Amino acid sequence: MGQKDGFLKFNRQADPTVAPEERVKNWNEFHPPLSEEERKTQGARCMDCGVPFCQSGQMYGSRFAGCPLHNLIPEWNDLIFKGQYGLAYSRLAKTSSFPEFTSRVCPALCESICTCGMHGDPVTVKDNERFLSDYAWKNGLVKPRIPAVRTGKTVAVVGSGPAGLAAADLLNRMGHSVTVFEKEELPGGLLVWGIPSMKLEKGVVARRIKLMEEEGVTFRCGTDIGRNVSGAELTENFDAVVLCCGSGKVREYKVAGSAEGFCYASDYLKAAAHALLGDIFDPALDAKGKNVIVVGAGDTSCDCIGTALRQGCRSVIQLIRRDEAFYAPAEKSWPDVPHGNIDYAEEEAEKLYGASPRRYGTVVKALIADENGCLKQVRTVKLKRTNEGGKPVSEEIPGSEEILECELLIAASGFAGCEEYICDTFGLAAEKGGNLESHDGCLTANEKIFAAGDMRRGASLVVHAIADGREAAIQTDEYLKRK
């Protein structure tokens, strides 16, 4: 530990934020870094607390807190303070496959249980991680690590999201020959098609893909397993298969009526990503000049609002089913599990339009189309929650209906599990909740097929997907060694 009283002497200082009225003018990331000296000071705040809960990554009662990757956080915080950035990055890369991703989009589960946070502010672990990652890339410390020996075993990874990339990365370093199959024309999964560029610029993903190719990983894009290539072909031609296909089946949002201009969040964000990459953009999914309504309360709904603002929408409203009291800040507790970065778009909308876009306890009851079948209005209704037999029930409030102008309605209604055709092509079953059924960790009912990420555990955080992909790689390697 470099400065034993750093946590007493220095205050927490997070990376600054570009003003909302400025950042909505472009798609750039909007958290410029601190100076090098300021970052050293933030590293000095790490307590070397004896029991580093930050790297534990486990359940504490009903809450998950700590880093799922078990990053060696106190070690590299100390090395940041000492200015030994190369060594600090090597400690970070030992456990983290893609710190350039997690340091941008992770809600910092590590900080939720930082010992400094018990009676004050936690260490800026996430910002420190991003500093190390950006420093390493900028100074040529991130280089191809090509295995000295190949095992002769081949592995097919289906899906190139965070879980698939993590599995492929680790399996390749173990010496296996890895081929990643991706149904889209570019690899990256939700890192490219689901997370907007202002949170994770696409060049950050592209440079990692390029590095993995230099290390020997093969990417076959435009290949939809289960449709233009059967699962049987993979199981016959590869020694093992790892399924990381995500939780792509959207949860149906039931509303009366139909109209062009209603879409799901995943389709909207994907279309926006295509447009930024220069592809043809469906005008029906463009928010420019439109009154936009987003349904939902999580990260995805926030990203839809932020995207609509950058596309130049006329107005934006967020409808949230639960009442405002449900989201009221709780008393400070420890672990203080974060809710994620769900407020940046509300801040932007409030700055642009003068009021919060959120309307609590409100749902869409019906769509109203014009003579051409295009959405022009929605009918909303307010809800009240009652308890019947101890179970909460939502009821419509009589006389609370309202007509809102709307040309684009985006439903961020969540996901209902993996696509069924993926399970079918491999002869595997899905659980009741829609996730792929697995046995003994990542192993499926077929001894040579493993699963990881949202496909196995349900829609979750990028950091959980990466940790799951790494675990699937370890189990796959153990299987290949036995064979």
Two tokens, residue 172: 């390749």
Above 70 in pLDDT, residue 78? Answer: yes
pLDDT digits (tens, 9 = 90+) for 258-315: 999 999 999 999 999 999 998 877 888 999 999 999 999 989 999 999 999 999 999 9
Above 50 in pLDDT, residue 452? Answer: yes
Spatial distance between the Cα atoms of 314 and 308, rounded to a whole number of angstroms: 9
Greater model confidence, 119 or 224: 224
pLDDT at position 340: 40
| Confidence category of residue 76, pLDDT binned at 50, 70, 90 | very high
Set out the domains of the chain in order of their start, with CATH numbers: 6-138 (1.10.1060.10), 154-248+416-482 (3.50.50.60), 262-411 (3.50.50.60)
Above 60 in pLDDT, residue 384? Answer: yes
| Confidence category of residue 355, pLDDT binned at 50, 70, 90 | very high
Cβ-in-10-Å burial (0-12, 13-18, 19+) of 284 comes to: middle
Unique residue bearing structure tokens 């750093």: 6
Above 60 in pLDDT, residue 361? Answer: yes
Above 50 in pLDDT, residue 341? Answer: no
Distances (CA, A) of 5 to 11, 51, 85: 12, 17, 21
Spatial distance between the Cα atoms of 248 and 420, rounded to a whole number of angstroms: 10
Give percent of the chain with pLDDT exceeding 90: 83
- Mean pLDDT confidence for 29-41: 97
Are 442 and 468 within 8 A, CB to CB?
A: yes
Above 90 in pLDDT, residue 391? Answer: no
Please state, rounded to an integer, the average pLDDT across all residues of the chain. 93
